[in-house]
Chains A and B, each alone.
Chain A
Amino acid sequence: MRKWIAIGTSLVLIIIVLILFLISSTPKQVKAVVVLKDYTITSKVEDVDQISVPILLNQKSSYFSDPSQIEKAYLSNISEEDFFQVKVNNISFLDQKVKIKKDKYSMAVFECEIDFHPSDEMSWYFPELYLNLNFRNQVHAKMKIGKMSYNKVTTFSQDQFSLSTIRGTTTTQNNNIFLSGMFLGFRNQSTQEIILQKVTIMDHNLHIGNDISEIKEYNEKLTEEDVLTKDKETLEPIEENLQIHLAPLENKIFYFPILYDDLYVVQSFSIKINYLYANEERVCYIEPYLFFINHYESIDQDKITIYQYES
């Protein structure tokens, strides 16, 4: 009799402990941490655009990571006066966990398709970009994800000249790697002189610095420090006009320093070039180029925002 009482008591205790363990191990809230990024998209008007948003989540299995639970999704500025509808096609988790303030987070990537189809060249800039998610359970998530430059162009063709060299240089700040400049080589493919007037990065957060240099002897090991310290021929722009003259079949390589408004990591962007050909002003766009990959992007745990939503 006593034996059965002891067994029964032990079983009840085990069940109680298990229940308490399950309750304590199931997070009460969904927590999300966003890695701020500088999103830059330049594509042709007929292209459908995708945007991948990395979000750290404390739960892998919840309504937050189920695309079928999302009723409505859109990108917007803070006031939501400007917005783009998006469709969250897929949410996948990377095989990686990060510990932030005693909680473990998994990296989820929200693959979104932008539901916007202009018929002409257009350009938008969101200095503060928000991802808004309305879920079927009435939860509304509004998370700042960074900033965005969104450009639509009619073509990427450059009939008159060839981009003979393209490479970026990098620098490290706050344990992260940033693009500090780029080598661009231009070769005139036509039978007439071309005058390159302006080079613009199709990202409102980035600007070309004033200290543009022509590189007489280029090699793949040339760094930004080499350009800054060696004797060099600095370009003297005339009234913000570069005035780079290219004779037929002539090739010239330049180093363009890059400046940032806000230090967000950006790894690829498109370039716009204004030039004169046969006394006619023309514009061409270089397709988005992936300059570098930082394989280990650092998280500054003091500067992140943790969003919390009902479980």
Chain B
Amino acid sequence: MKYILMVLLVFGLSSVKDKGVDPYSKTGHDQFAELVLTDGGSLIVDYPEVFIEASLDELKRKVFGTTDKRFLTYANASYVSTTIFSRSNKTREAYTFAYDLSTVIYSEVSVSVKGSLSAKGVYKAKKGEITGNGELSVTYATDDYIKTTENGKMSVIIYPNKKVSLRIVGEAKVTNGIRKSYFLGVTTKKGSYEVVDIVSTCFELREEDA
């Protein structure tokens, strides 16, 4: 009995974390300036905290394992990214800037978690590494789809007092919900999650006043 209580105490203490302040993000994902669900529904960031907590309380308790409730599963969405790069010319002469998309960093999957969930537990990938705030470097494909990659290189002339920016827009699939994990009937992890799989990426190169 003593040992069981000690194990429970250890798990209880390990699930207690300092609750810091999360950086503000309109979409809940750093790389998206805008993320719009085209067929209705809400992003996790738009649900009130009270609703999330109430929904978590309603999840069926288990002795071991995980209980999951999906709000959205592969829902269609469109996105606008934050600016990938921007180069301005404050000189009097035009200059040529060469860019290579293979050096542009953007994630093909964005995983956002809240609470005590881990991104690695939420998103299963056959190969990849989750770093930082849960961004994966590769995704998996089903039997009917081929995962494709393309590289683009281009030289751009940047004229005096002008800047050139590259942004990406496109379509994505959004899956979100809430989850609780249990050990011996005790909640060890709980929270909300959201995974955004990028389906297509359109590149916009645009010149503006510097």
Contacts and interface: CB of A to CB of B under 8 A. Distances in A.
Interface of A: 35, 54, 94-96, 98-99, 107, 156, 158, 162-170, 175, 177, 185, 187, 189, 220-221, 267-268, 287-299, 301
A287 B154 contact: yes
A54 to B, nearest CB: 7
17 contacts: A96-B140, A163-B207, A164-B207, A165-B204, A167-B204, A185-B206, A189-B159, A220-B169, A220-B206, A221-B169, A287-B155, A290-B101, A294-B148, A295-B108, A295-B139, A296-B199, A299-B145
A268 B152 contact: yes
A221 B38 CA distance: 14
B200 A95 contact: no
Given A165-B205, A166-B204, A297-B146, A95 B126 contact: yes
B147 interface: yes
Given A162-B207, A165-B206, A185-B207, A170 B200 contact: yes
Nearest to B172: A295
Interface in B132-152: 138-141, 143-152
Nearest to B108: A295
A295 B204 contact: no
Contacts of A288: 152, 154
A99 B143 contact: yes
Contacts of B199: 177, 294-296
A167 B148 contact: no
A3 to B, nearest CB: 46
Given A220-B169, A287-B155, A295 B206 contact: no
Interface residues of B, number: 38
B173 to A, nearest CB: 9
A287 B146 CA distance: 27
Nearest to B126: A95
A292 B169 CA distance: 9
A227 to B, nearest CB: 15
B167 interface: yes
Interface residue SS majority, chain B? strand
Interface string B187-210: 000000000001111111111000
Nearest to B147: A96
Interface string B149-172: 111101101010000000101110
A293 B148 contact: yes
Nearest to B154: A287
Given A189-B159, A220-B80, A289-B154, A295 B201 contact: yes
Contact of B203 (A185, A290, A298): A290
Contacts of B170: 292
Given A167-B205, A185-B207, 15 more contacts: A94-B147, A96-B140, A96-B141, A98-B143, A158-B157, A165-B205, A165-B207, A166-B206, A177-B200, A185-B206, A290-B151, A290-B203, A294-B200, A295-B108, A296-B148
A95 B138 contact: yes
Contacts of B155: 156, 287
Nearest to A54: B146
B2 interface: no
Given A95-B126, A162-B157, A164-B207, A292 B108 contact: no
Contacts of B203: 167-168, 289-292
B127 A95 contact: yes
A95 to B, nearest CB: 6
A269 B189 CA distance: 50
A296 B150 contact: no
A221 to B, nearest CB: 6
Contact of A289 (B126, B167, B205): B205
B147 A295 contact: yes
Contact of B202 (A94, A95, A292): A292
A99 B73 CA distance: 24
Given A162-B157, A287-B155, A220 B204 contact: yes
A268 B102 CA distance: 15
A262 to B, nearest CB: 19
B29 to A, nearest CB: 16
Q: What 8 A-B pairs have minimum CB-CB distances, sorted nearest first?
A: A290-B152, A167-B204, A296-B145, A164-B207, A292-B202, A293-B201, A99-B143, A297-B146
Contact of B200 (A35, A287, A295): A295
A166 B205 CA distance: 5
A221 B202 contact: no
Contacts of A299: 144-146
